[in-house]
Each structure stands twice: as C-alpha cells, then as structure tokens.
Chains A and B, each alone.
Chain A
Amino acid sequence: MALSQTGIRRWYLVHKWTSIVCTAFLLMFCITGLPLIFHHEIDELTRAPVLSEQTEGTASLDAVAADAVGKHPGWHNIFISYDEEEPIIYAAVGPTLTAGDDTGKLYLYDARSGEHLNAPPFDEGVMAFLLDLHAHLLMGIPGQLFLGVVGLVFLVAVISGVVVYAPFMRRLSFGTVRKDRSKRVKWLDTHNMVGIVTLGWVTVVGLTGFIITMTVPIQAIWQMDQLAEMAAPYKDAQPPEKLASVDAAVATVRNAVPDAKVSFVSWPGTQFSTTHHYMVALAGDTPLTERLINPAMVDAETGELTDVRDMPWYVQTLFLSVPLHFGDYGGLPLKIIWALLDIAAIVVLVTGLYLWLGRRRVPIEKRIAELNSGGLAEPAE
C-alpha cells in the first residue's frame, strides 16, 4: 500500500496537471448541469403546452405524421415519439431523411386528440443553450468528442486524487476537517473530505458523461453491425414507393409483443432504421427496462413484422448511461440530491483551485511534505 516518495511525487503531479487541464470545463459542466437536472420541470413551467381538457381518445399517428410533414412541402417524416410522462407526441420532420435537429423541426401534438400544440421550439431558449454548452461546447459533434476527452482526463484526476489521499490520511481519521489551524489546512481538509465522500457518485456521473459523448460513434457501430444485418435481405430491393400505415405498423408490433410499450417510431431511410423498415422502439415498464429500448422492424411496404431484436450491449450501455448521468430516474427527491451532490463537486473544484492558486511558487518538495504530513508541514511562500 505504501507508496515510495517518487511514487507519491509522480501521482501528485498527475493529479495536479490533469486537474488544471479540466477544472474550467468541469466548472462549466457543474454550473450548467445544475439547472439541467430540473430540465423537465423548467420545461413544464416555461414551455408546457396547455393540454386540452379532453382526456379520451388516441391520436392517429398517420394523421399526426401527415400534419407535421404537410407544414413543409417536400420534407420528410423522420420519427414520432411519445413523451414519457405527458400525453404528448413529438413529430420530427426534415428536409432530408437524415436531417438532424439543426435543420429539421420538431412539432408537438396532443396524444389523445391529435391536435397540434403550439409550443415554443425546442432549440431555442435558455435551457436549450445550456444543454448545447454542456453537451457540445456549442460546437456540434467535434465539441462533443472534445468534451469526451475532457471526461477521460477528469477520470484520471479522480483516480490520482484517491492515490494521494492515502499518504495525506496516514495520521488522520476519516472525515477530519481542522478549522482551528490555518485557512489552507481547512480548505485542504475540505477538498479531501468532500472529494473522497462523493467519489462513487462523481465517478459514475463522469464515466456515464464520457459514454454519452460517444453517442455518434456508438450509433455508427450499431448501423454497421445490427442494422446492416437487418437490412441485408433487402439489399437488391427498391425503396418502398408507398409507405404502409404507421398506426397499422404499431398495432402489429403491439399484438406481437403485448407487454412492451411503444416509445418511438422511425421512418425508413433514417439513421435509426433501414431503407425498408419502420423501426418501432419497444420499452419495458420499470425504470430500468423503459430505458433499454429494443427495435422491432416492420416492413414499410407490406406492414409485416419481420424482426424483433435486443439492442447490442454497447447500445444498452449508452441507454443506461443517460439516467445515471442526469439523475432523472428516481423522482424529485433524487433530483434534489443530485443537485446537492453537484454543488459538493463544485466545492471540490473551487477548493482545489484555491489550493493551487494560493501557493503557486512553492517548490514541489514542500508540497509533497505537506501531503505526507497530513497538511501540517505547510509550504511557506
């Protein structure tokens, strides 16, 4: 367990430099992440469409899809999805089948009456900006991949922090915060105590954040792997000229898999389906299985169900990373705990910054002595 002096020195330097590299980004993550934890609640207050009083009825997906695409002559339907909690259907349309949210449009419909809901667009407003900053650094996919690298550097900072925690705590009890000594000792103890206590949560949020930045590569692998396999029998077929009814396709899937919940339908030729299928996404009904979406493929020409698969492990890992990163899977109390843990992480970042800025010109030997003595041998100016 005991590290040699050179070992401690090396790990200390790793902790210092990896932390310096990613602290600014992590502060951005933590600060923008704080309101994003309550994204759904804030959306409901600011965007929530006034849902009509009516409670009966089931909207026709065919009608919703036709209405959405009818707003833009020449455009295509991309997908339709159901809101997890509210009776709302989202219909995405775009100038091409593979259009993203930058060029396409998302319309909201009442899932009971099928009426179009006049809601502000999703890509505008403060929350959309915060999410774009948090997830893409406002720079699209390159920004997202860059933040993935920041996430990896952060995980190294966490690991090295745990390693240098050991020599520091050799003569201290867990949880010690000495306030009767210098200010520096107080913040050093606070940094170590809050850092080690939140280790589990911070590691999971950091790791799942990194996995989410890999969304584009993971999707590309799925397209080349499972999706290509399901498309293979149609290799020489012409794309369907007239599409079968979406309502009928969903009904067919519901008959075949009665206990699953339909959460999403993707049109043929989009990035979530083959050129010949509707992809009907099926979810279970526990917090775990409702995230593990599985694809049911319906021939878009004949309306027949051709395949129901389990997503491969790497896509399921991505699906499970989303709730574990956002903390939106255990009610409002969990979100509040998530927010408080986020603030604890900010405390670790700010105290770390203070410790570094406060004694920048001190030789490393004195800093190592400080570490080894549990903060008592203070580095002098």
Chain B
Amino acid sequence: MKARQSTRNNGWQIFRWPLLMALANAVGLIAALVGNGWYDLLSWATLGLTLVVIVAAWRGWSAK
C-alpha cells in the first residue's frame, strides 16, 4: 500500500504542507484587501489553490 509509509513522519513532515496551504490562504485573504487588479488576481490564485488541492487529493494525488 503506497499511502502507508514504513517510517514515521515527524511534526515538520506532517505540518509543512498544511503550513504552506495556510500561508497561501493568508496571502489570498490579505491581497484582495490591499488593492485591486493584480492583487485580486493573486487572491483568486492563492485561495483557488485550496480548491485545486482538495479536488486533486480527492482524485488520488498525495504529497511525495
């Protein structure tokens, strides 16, 4: 079974991806507040990434 690893993940390995996602969320939430135009585009891209990751993971993608 590919999903189950033989070695144990440490805290950094477990939380590096969630931290990256939270960071992308934060950038997206703030960008659209700061300005319009490119800032809005950045906001859509980073918050939209969340949705892309959900769909990809549901369809079988996982990190590593």
Contact = CB atoms under 8 A, between A and B. Distances in A.
Interface of A: 1-2, 162, 165-166, 169-179, 190, 193-194, 196-201, 204, 286-288, 291, 320, 323-324, 329-331, 333-334, 337, 340-341, 344, 374, 376
A334 B22 contact: no
A201 B5 contact: no
* Residue among B7, B22, B34, B61 facing the most chain A CB atoms (10 A cut-off): B22
A190 B62 contact: no
Nearest to A194: B54
B54 A1 contact: no
Interface in B6-64: 6-11, 14-18, 21-26, 29, 31-36, 40, 43-44, 47-48, 50-51, 53-54, 56-58, 60-64
Contacts of A199: 18, 21-22, 25
A376 B62 contact: no
A142 B18 CA distance: 36
15 contacts: A170-B8, A170-B14, A171-B4, A172-B3, A196-B21, A197-B50, A200-B23, A200-B25, A201-B47, A286-B35, A320-B33, A324-B29, A333-B40, A337-B47, A374-B4
Interface residues of B, number: 44
A175 B14 contact: no
A201 B25 contact: yes
7 A-B pairs with the lowest CB-CB distances in the bound complex, closest first: A200-B25, A330-B32, A1-B11, A175-B57, A200-B22, A174-B17, A174-B63
Contacts of A170: 8-9, 14
B62 A334 contact: no
Given A175-B57, A177-B60, A333 B33 contact: no
Contact of A324 (B10, B33, B58): B33
Contacts of A344: 50-51, 54
A376 B1 CA distance: 12
A171 B5 contact: yes
Contacts of A331: 40
A174 B62 CA distance: 6
Nearest to A162: B18
B56 A337 contact: no
A266 B51 CA distance: 42
Given A166-B15, A170-B9, A330-B40, A341 B51 contact: yes
Contacts of A178: 3
A175 B48 CA distance: 16
A324 B33 CA distance: 9
B24 to A, nearest CB: 8
A287 B21 contact: no
* Residue among A174, A193, A198, A323 facing the most chain B CB atoms (10 A cut-off): A174
A193 B17 CA distance: 11
B53 A175 contact: yes
A337 B18 contact: no
A191 to B, nearest CB: 12
A165 B7 CA distance: 17
Nearest to A204: B29
Contacts of B57: 175-177, 193, 197
Contact of A175 (B10, B16, B63): B63
B15 A287 contact: no
A346 to B, nearest CB: 13
B9 A287 contact: no
A4 to B, nearest CB: 15
* Residue among A162, A178, A194, A200 facing the most chain B CB atoms (10 A cut-off): A200
Contact of B10 (A1, A162, A291): A1
A333 B44 contact: yes
Given A173-B63, A287-B35, A166 B54 contact: no
